[in-house]
Amino acid sequence: MNWTIERISDLSGKVIIVTGGNSGLGYESVKAFAMKGADVVLASRSTEKGEEAKAMPYGGSRFVIVRSSQNMYSPGRSSR
């Protein structure tokens, strides 16, 4: 049996954080979660690209765009 978006259960009332949600796999994940009713926090290094992704039609989900630092993705970095 192949996996499809239709196999995701209803996500209404859930909040999902997606890093890199403005392109590629992150963008496709945002679309799938939104279609299933989740509220999505889209973390993107570019606020402009995040807003472009947010403007796409996803149904009734709410979106929050968070500008993330590139440093947060660097392995081995400690917070100071």
Tell me what the mean pLDDT of segment 56-75 comes to. 63
Over the stretch 17-38, which tens digit does the pLDDT of each residue have? 888 888 889 888 988 998 898 8
Domains in the chain, CATH or no CATH each: 10-69 (3.40.50.720)
Residue 40 vs residues 20, 61, 65: alpha-carbon distances, Å: 12, 7, 9
Query: Residue 76: in which H helix or E strand, if any?
Result: none
Closest CA to 38 of 60, 12, 64, 17: 12
d(CA 12, CA 30): 14
* Residue 54 CB neighbour total at 10 angstroms: 18
The more confident residue out of 63 and 27 is 27
Q: Which pTM was predicted? A: 0.71
Q: What are phi and psi of 40, to 5 degrees?
A: -115, 130
